[in-house]
Amino acid sequence: MSRQKRIGVLTSGGDCAGLNAVLRAVVHRAVEGYGWQVVGIHNGTAGLLARPVDAEVLDLGIFDGNLLRRGGTILGTTNKGDPFDFPMADGRRIDRSEEVIEGYRQLDLDALIGIGGDGSQDILRRLAQQGGIDLITLPKTIDNDLGHTEVSIGYATAVKIATDALDQLQPTAASHSRVMVLEVMGRDAGHIAIGAGIAGGADVILIPEIGYSLEGIARKIESLKARGRNFALVVVAEAVKTETGDAVRQVQGDGSSTYGGVGQYLAARIAEETGSETRVTVLGHLQRGGPPTDHDRLMASVFGVYAVDLIAAGRFDRMVAWSGRQVVDIPITDAIAGYKAVDIAGPLVRTAQGLGIYLGELPEDSEGARTGRVAESVGS
């Protein structure tokens, strides 16, 4: 009798809503559809570095409760500890990739599903190439910056949470005649900011892809006041720089740094420039942990089932993607290489301009600038 097939699954990088829904779909399809066993590896590649290897068999029963609805990942994850450049306690950085591959071999797996963003997928692919691992990846990132897929798990929920925050801030802004600044995540891309800003009725949306001026922001706020509006909503993506071009970052105990603080900077500058009372809300990790939206659950389910079907078909080194209303698969290398910032000539930028939102000073050759929409939005 042939041995039962065993596949591994891990979550890697920052957590986000919808990861448990992916795991549920993978386990359902593999166990019920093909009669395979699924091994969940804990804490991304850290689980494969641990000895004994840190992993558990995932039974269908685990998913009978409310996991479809729960944020986070039951497997745990990490966005630190690149095995090719691993930080040791004594300060050295060493290559531990062979140990990870050895850990994978100890689990006696036939294939691996890695759920991660571009950084995680890059690491997993290098491990797969080096160790002969049959790998499939699934796109997840609240930042929505992976190329070649119209959907990454976690983005829809992050946008919903940021939109809800604007819904909650608006009444207080109006009651107290304030400018409310909402700082959102997104790493180097402005997808969350522009999505939530449009959906949540922001007056100013600042994204790293477009430079801005304080005069431009002030003009927008003054124009609102001139037509009788007593408040304004400003959304700023965490990677937006100061006027002098400096990134605003928080230094951590280990010397590394993360984005954070540009909202505070802007609120102070807007207060100086316009005389408005300003307040700041930094949404931070609230954008990652909530229950997944219906859209994230749906896509997580589609991606999870399809990933297992790819393994059954023997198609490896592929990332599952959503394109043109279809689930498809593309080479992982294409996905990693296709970093996707906000398209400044794309539909969301045009929509924001059409709504009179101040987005910054768009370059002359962008579509919006050509049609004169920038001037209209600043002056509206």
Q: Which residues bind ligand F6P (CB under 6 A)?
A: 14, 79, 141-143, 185-187, 238, 258-259, 288
Least spacing, CB of residue 250 vs ligand F6P, in Å: 9
Choose between 238 and 296: whose C-beta lies nearer to ligand F6P. Answer: 238
Decide if 225 contacts 232 (C-beta within 8 A): no
Q: Taking the C-alpha atoms of 89, 90, 95 and 98 in order, what is their torsion angle to the nearest 10 degrees?
A: -60
Least spacing, CB of residue 142 vs ligand F6P, in Å: 5
Choose between 27 and 185: whose C-beta lies nearer to ligand F6P. Answer: 185
Peptide bond into 139 cis (omega under 30): no
With CB atoms as reference, the residue minimizing the distance to ligand F6P is 185
Q: How far apart are CA 154 and CA 109, in angstroms?
A: 28
CA 234, 342, 167, 184 dihedral sign is negative
Choose between 140 and 148: whose C-beta lies nearer to ligand F6P. Answer: 140
Least spacing, CB of residue 170 vs ligand F6P, in Å: 24
CA 162 to chain CA centroid, nearest Å: 13
Least spacing, CB of residue 117 vs ligand F6P, in Å: 6
Q: Is 329 a catalytic residue?
A: no
Options 15, 82, 122, 143, the catalytic residue: 143
The tokens describing 76, both together, are 């745990």
Choose between 142 and 310: whose C-beta lies nearer to ligand F6P. Answer: 142
Decide if 349 contacts 366 (C-beta within 8 A): yes
Nearest partner of 283 among 371, 134, 181, judged by Cα: 181
Q: How far apart are CA 164 and CA 167, in angstroms?
A: 5
Please list the active-site residues: 143
